[in-house]
Amino acid sequence: MADLPLPPGSTLGILGGGQLGRMLSQAASRLGFNVVILDPEENSPAGRVSQGQVIAAYDDPTALQVLGRVAQAVTFEFENVPAASVQTLVESGAEVAPGARALAVAQDRVDEKTFLNSVGATTVDFAAVDSVDDLVAGLERLGVPALLKTRREGYDGKGQVWVRAVSEAADAWNAIDGKPAVLEAKAAFTRELSVIAARGRDGQVAVYPLGENIHEGGVLRTTLAPAKVDRKTDARAREIAAAILNGLDYVGVLGVELFDLGKGVLLVNEIAPRVHNTGHWTQDGCVCDQFEQHIRAVAGWPLGPTEPHARVEMTNLLGDEVDQWTALAAEPDARLHLYGKAEARPGRKMAHVNRVSKL
Cα–Cα distance for residue pair 149/246, rounded to 1 Å = 27
End-to-end, the C-alpha distance of the chain in Å comes to 44
> Is residue 200 located within the same domain as residue 169?
no
pLDDT of residue 194: 98
Domain annotation covers residue 37: yes
**195 and 176 co-located in one domain:** no
Q: What is the pLDDT of residue 232?
A: 97
Burial of residue 230 (CB within 10 Å: 0-12, 13-18, 19+) is: exposed
The pLDDT of residue 158: 73
3-state SS, 110-126, equals HHHHHHHHHCCCCCCCE
Domain span at residue 32 reads: 11-96
Q: Do 25 and 37 contact (CB within 8 A), yes or no?
A: yes
- The structure's pTM equals 0.96
| Residue 206 domain-assigned (yes or no) | yes
- What is the model's pLDDT at position 157? 63
pLDDT one digit per residue (tens) for the chain, 359 residues? 678 999 999 999 999 999 999 999 999 999 999 999 999 999 999 999 999 999 999 999 999 999 999 999 999 999 988 888 998 998 888 899 999 899 999 999 999 999 999 999 999 999 999 999 999 999 999 999 999 999 998 666 678 999 999 999 999 999 999 999 999 999 999 999 999 999 999 999 999 999 999 999 889 999 999 999 999 999 999 999 999 999 999 999 999 999 999 999 999 999 999 999 999 999 999 999 999 999 999 999 999 999 999 999 999 999 999 999 999 999 999 999 999 999 999 999 999 999 999 99
| Number of domains, the chain | 3
Q: Are residues 218 and 335 in the same domain?
A: yes
Question: Between β-strands 146-150 and 334-338, what pairing exists: parallel, antiparallel or unpaired?
Answer: unpaired
Under DSSP, the state recorded for 321 is: G
202 Cβ partners below 8 Å, 6+ apart?
Answer: none
Provide, rounded to the nearest whole percent, the portion of the chain with pLDDT above 90.
Answer: 92
* The domain boundary residue, chosen from 96, 113, 142: 96
Q: What per-residue confidence (pLDDT) applies to 93?
A: 85
Considering the domain boundaries, does residue 120 fall inside one? no
DSSP conformation class of 286 = B
Domain annotation covers residue 106: no
**Separation of alpha carbons 205 and 200, rounded Å:** 7
What are the residues whose beta carbons fall under 8 Å from the beta carbon of 343, sequence distance 6 or more? none
Same domain, 178 and 272: no
Pairing mode, if any, of strands 311-318 and 211-216? unpaired
Kindly state whether residues 153 and 248 are assigned to the same domain: no
What is the rounded distance in angstroms from the CA atom of residue 253 to the CA atom of residue 274?
6
Contact predicate 102/83, CB 8 Å: no
Residues 348 and 270 in one domain: yes
CATH of the domain at 135: 3.30.1490.20
Specify whether 202 is located in the same domain as 177: no
- Output the pLDDT for position 156: 60
- The pLDDT of residue 26: 98
User: CA-CA distances (angstroms) from residue 354 to 55, 144, 266, 290?
Assistant: 32, 38, 26, 14
Which residues lie closer than 8 Å to 357 by C-beta, 6 or more apart?
310, 311, 312, 313, 333
Which of 208, 202, 198, 203 is closest to 295 using CA atoms? 198
Same domain, residue pair 299 and 201: yes
The pLDDT, as a whole number, for residue 91 is 87
